[in-house]
Amino acid sequence: MPSSKYTINDRIRAIEVRVIEGLENGVYSKEDALRQAKDLGLDLVATNLNTSPPICKVVDFNKFLYQEKQKEKDLVKNQVKTIIKEVQFSPNIGEHDYETKKRNVIKFLEKGNKVKCTIFFKGRTIMFKEKGEYVLARLASEIEDCGTPESMPKLIGKRMAFIIKPKKNK
């Protein structure tokens, strides 16, 4: 018998159990529920031992485990995976470099990824924070048809950054 997080048949220690599937719903003595499950060729599976009386199902245990695995696979398959791409700018970025990086940001947003736009201040360039804010504000205004900023740019250490999320086109 495979080990699992479920308690089955004789391993259930309660005197009474609440059956919610397989038999008529209700509270049975453990022996009575076990006997009826054996007569049907099925197992008594405790799904919740924390209640009083414990909640059980009368099912084929191997089929029950298979269905639980299928439910877990479906949950994992339906999860949305968000990828964050990062594009770095400098406060004194040239026009051509800016346009190239803007194109990359637009490409990432069209694929459905979030983009973290970062300005890295080297040396004394930290004194010109407004240049960095200007570059990020310009970027946000030029790509507003593809994405929207999640928040205002934040200065953390020598980096100023904000995240742009893609717009839903549905």
Summarised one tens digit per residue, pLDDT across range 31-70 is 888 888 888 888 888 888 888 888 888 888 889 889 889 9
Pairwise CA distance, residues 109 & 131, whole Å: 24
Residue scoring higher pLDDT (44 or 168): 44
Dump strand ranges (E) for 12-158: 16-21, 26-29, 43-48, 55-59, 84-89, 114-120, 147-149, 154-156
Triad 115, 117, 118: Cα angle to 5°: 145
Encode 2-48 in three state secondary structure. Answer: CCCCCEEHHHCCCCEEEEEECCCCEEEEHHHHHHHHHHHCCEEEEEE
For residue 170, pLDDT over 50 is answered with no
User: Residue 3 — very low, low, confident or very high, per pLDDT cuts 50/70/90?
Assistant: low
With beta carbons less than 8 A apart as the criterion, state whether 123 and 150 touch. Answer: no
Percentage of the chain exceeding pLDDT 70: 96
Which residue reads 């990432």 in tokens? 108
**Which residues contact residue 4 at a Cβ distance below 8 angstroms, ignoring those fewer than 6 apart?**
65
Of 50-54, 84-88, 121-125, which one has max mean pLDDT?
Answer: 84-88
Architecture of domain 7-74: Roll (3.10)
Instruction: Determine the number of helices (DSSP H) and then strands (DSSP E) in the chain.
Output: 4, 10
Fold (topology level) of 84-166: Translation Initiation Factor IF3 (3.30.110)
**Residue 87: its pLDDT value, please?**
92
**Residue 10: its pLDDT value, please?**
82
- 0.75 exceeded by pTM: no
For the chain, which residues make up each domain, given as ranges?
7-74, 84-166
